[in-house]
Amino acid sequence: MLQAIEDYIHNTKEASLEELYEFLRIPSISTDSRYKDDIDRCAQFLKGYLDGIGLEKTTIYETKGHPIVYGEWCGAPDKPTVLLYGHYDVQPPDPLELWQSPPFQPECRDGQIYARGVSDDKGQVFCHLKSIQAFLSEHGELPVNIKILIEGEEEIGSPNLTPFVEAHTDLLKADTVLISDMPMFAEDRPSLCLSLRGLVYMELEAVGANQDLHSGQHGGPVPNPIHALANLITCLKDSDGRVMIPGFYDEVASVPPTIQKQLQEGLFDVDGYKTQLGLTTLVGEKGFSTCEQQWFRPTLDCNGIIGGYTGEGAKTVIPSKASAKISMRLVAHQDPDEIVSAFMTYVKEQCPPGITLSVSAHSTAHPAMVDADQTAVKAAQQAIKNIYGKDPLFLGEGGTIPVVSEFERLLGIQSVLMGLNLPNDGIHAPNEHFSVKNFYNGILTSAHFWNEYARSY
């Protein structure tokens, strides 16, 4: 049966790439309200695409934020149902000047497709849509039932997904969730992910005097909000890379034994990683390996800071205010709400005199752990083996997919976390890319997964 599917995928290669490009050209930036029309246009495009490949009940569900696109094929009542989750929104492309080709004009160079969102997550979503198209086009049916939910707010913490899932538990009823929104371990080292970090994203605003002041006339007695933020950022993390918020590590789980074993076998090429990033030194939390630091240890980073004069040349000003964005990655079983609260208490305690500090939370997400013994995980293992000729590694992932813990809580099902892109695809950075090879391997792996899952059920 799969030979025909593989032939179809092979024969429609060029068309698939063109369709992906159309998807990528829409600047569906969720965090910036100026792109609201593009977000809506992207949802329309997706609905049209789902209609076109033969899905049913295709709907754009409005939310308080950006819309959710849904479609399904449920023509196999005796077979299991997969809820496919992905997102069509993307990160802002700045700094724009570092892109070699415009972020929303996809371009293929040396086997890599360059565009914002090509790897995170439009390209990976498209792998699954193309495999579904292959089955429906060739056979008029799929080996399993598939429900597709593609949201537009993943990059801003999915604030409206939970209410949607809560309100549509019957519609979304399934046996497993399939998510491809993380990387495989490395080129030709396919993997399945068993854990994801959670997220708490905070914003600090420090205010000193009620106006910008001349640093000569006023410099000395006047509190400087940039110094205040610098002090706060400094006291959030010690020189051993440990977060200094009281209670931060209280609920942190240990590394799963299967993964711990792989790590001890020297899974990760630390020197190659440093070379790739142009670094001579890594600085993570003392006492943990690089992979442990990225996958199983919580951490804290300032993601943005601005204050005072930042243009060309010099301006002698003591600014009235300065602000910083600070996020923490959480691991099982840290609770985001408790971390928000501990963070707020700590920074307010540490705030230097003379400064008024505002603290707010942009978003929070729970960490997640999934069970390697699920039928669907085993089917994914086999599908990957069929395409790559080797067993996938079991990994953790440092990023966050807020919905994994939410699907478990609301629908009672775990997820298969099947990474189709690569860690060095430059997601969230200039020149984000996705290899044409991984795009087609992703379509093939997806096709085999539907098949293996139907067989093993």
What residues from 67 to 96 belong to the interface with a second copy (CB under 8 A)?
A: 91-92, 94-95
> Which position among 294, 381, 405, 438 is part of the footprint of a second copy (CB under 8 A)?
294
Please, which residue, 80 or 419, has the CB nearer to a second copy? 419
100 binding a second copy? (CB under 8 A):
no
**Helix 123-139 × helix 36-53 angle, to 10°:** 20
- Which amino acid does the sequence have at 422? L
As measured in angstroms, the least distance from the Cβ of 218 to a second copy is: 7
Query: Count of residues binding a second copy (CB under 8 A)?
Result: 98
Q: Which stretch binds a second copy (CB under 8 A): 109-117, 125-133, 166-174, 215-223?
A: 215-223
Between CA 384 and CA 184 the distance in angstroms is 11
Half-sphere exposure of 313 (CA within 13 A, CB side): 2
Between CA 388 and CA 384 the distance in angstroms is 6
Please, which residue, 48 or 219, has the CB nearer to a second copy? 219
Between CA 44 and CA 49 the distance in angstroms is 9
Between CA 186 and CA 91 the distance in angstroms is 23
As measured in angstroms, the least distance from the Cβ of 156 to a second copy is: 6
Mark residues 337-356: x for contact with a second copy by CB under 8 A, - for none.
---------------xxx--
- Which amino acid does the sequence have at 354? G
Q: At 204, phi and psi to the nearest 5?
A: -115, 135
In Å, how far are 5, 206, 264, 414 from 375, measured between CA atoms?
A: 23, 51, 27, 11
What are the structure tokens assigned to 286, written together? 């003392």
230 binding a second copy? (CB under 8 A):
yes
> Which position among 2, 17, 60, 233 is part of the footprint of a second copy (CB under 8 A)?
233
- Which amino acid does the sequence have at 181? D
As measured in angstroms, the least distance from the Cβ of 294 to a second copy is: 5
Q: What is the DSSP string of 25-65?
A: TS--BTT-GGGHHHHHHHHHHHHHHHHHHT-EEEEEE--SS
Element (H, E) at 207: strand 198-207
Please, which residue, 121 or 175, has the CB nearer to a second copy? 121
As measured in angstroms, the least distance from the Cβ of 203 to a second copy is: 8
Please, which residue, 131 or 363, has the CB nearer to a second copy? 363
Please, which residue, 3 or 280, has the CB nearer to a second copy? 280
As measured in angstroms, the least distance from the Cβ of 99 to a second copy is: 11
101 binding a second copy? (CB under 8 A):
no
Note whether 135 and 442 are within 8 A (CB): no
Cis peptide before 121 (omega within 30 of 0): yes
62 binding a second copy? (CB under 8 A):
no
Smallest CA-to-CA distance from 181 within 126, 91, 120 is with 120
In Å, how far are 228, 242, 257, 293, 429 from 246, measured between CA atoms?
A: 20, 11, 28, 19, 32
As measured in angstroms, the least distance from the Cβ of 136 to a second copy is: 34
Which residues have a Cβ under 8 Å from the Cβ of 95 and sit 6 or more positions away?
A: 430
Note whether 392 and 194 are within 8 A (CB): no
Q: Which of residues 257-276 bind a second copy (CB under 8 A)?
A: 273
Please, which residue, 147 or 321, has the CB nearer to a second copy? 321
As measured in angstroms, the least distance from the Cβ of 397 to a second copy is: 7
As measured in angstroms, the least distance from the Cβ of 367 to a second copy is: 11
Q: Which of residues 376-435 bind a second copy (CB under 8 A)?
A: 397-400, 423, 426-430
> Which position among 84, 113, 115, 213 is part of the footprint of a second copy (CB under 8 A)?
213
Q: Which stretch binds a second copy (CB under 8 A): 39-47, 252-260, 290-298, 443-451?
A: 290-298
Exposure b/e, 285-301, CB count within 10 A at least 16 = b: beebbebbbbbbbbbbe
Q: Which of residues 127-186 bind a second copy (CB under 8 A)?
A: 155-157, 183
Q: Which of residues 300-329 bind a second copy (CB under 8 A)?
A: 301-319, 322-325, 327, 329
As measured in angstroms, the least distance from the Cβ of 376 to a second copy is: 24
216 binding a second copy? (CB under 8 A):
yes
